[in-house]
Amino acid sequence: EITVVGLQASGKSSFVHVLGSGQWTEDIAPTVAFNLRTVRKGKVTIKIWDVAGQPKFRSMWERYCNGVDAIVFVVDSADRDKFPTARFELDQLLKNPHLTSVPLLVLGNKNDIENHATAAELIEELNLRKIQTREVSCYSCSMLSQDNMGEIIDWLSKRGH
Ligand SMILES: Nc1nc2c(ncn2[C@@H]2O[C@H](COP(=O)(O)OP(=O)(O)OP(=O)(O)O)[C@@H](O)[C@H]2O)c(=O)[nH]1
Ligand SMILES: [Mg+2]
């Protein structure tokens, strides 16, 4: 069971769609509140909470992250102006004491766009090195080209119980 959070238009629902169908589509509307989807990958069944990223929905993130096996935080790696807000919202979420040991996967999505930030840059921008109470990984990826999807599925498959 995982929860996907991050700012609006970072590509959370696109990620869930690619994970579920193996295919890219541009035809995804901004999420209202949340969507629940179940995806089967080999022997693993993943229950995914796809939560909305617009400001008015961010206070819900914490509730949906409670008790899951991993939190996936999606960042638009080509939208550098939003990194400070992404960092702030991630900090707010991870501050919650009941989420302290939940593993975190940060996805720097949209790496098909020129001048995107690399995983190393995102680790700096989001200050991921200071996180010590949980397992943290960061991948650069693209839902459009499906770059790194195999590694991401492997990571997720190892976090279940
Ligand atoms: N170029 C590019 N565009 C992408 C990629 N992933 C998503 N997008 C586009 O980014 C926009 C937002 O995608 P969504 O998946 O709806 O984003 P979201 O994070 O679910 O947004 P909210 O539901 O509003 O929080 C859409 O126009 C997508 O087509 C990617 O890897 N590359
Ligand atoms: Mg969405």
pLDDT, tens digit, for every residue of 138-154? 999 999 999 999 999 99
Give residue 13 CA to ligand 1 midpoint distance, Å.
7
CA nearest ligand 1 atom 30, residue: 110
Query: With the C-alpha atoms ordered 28, 33, 36, 39, is the resulting torsion angle positive or negative?
Result: positive
Q: Kindly report, residue by residue over 58-102, the tens digit of the pLDDT.
A: 999 999 999 999 999 999 999 999 999 999 999 999 999 999 999
Average pLDDT rounded to a whole number, residues 110-124? 98
Specify the pTM.
0.98
**Cβ pair 127, 80 in contact under 8 A:** no
pLDDT > 90 in the chain, percent: 95
Of 5, 8, 13, 14, best ligand 1 pocket probe by most atoms within 8 Å of the beta carbon = 14
161 — pLDDT class (breaks 50, 70, 90): confident
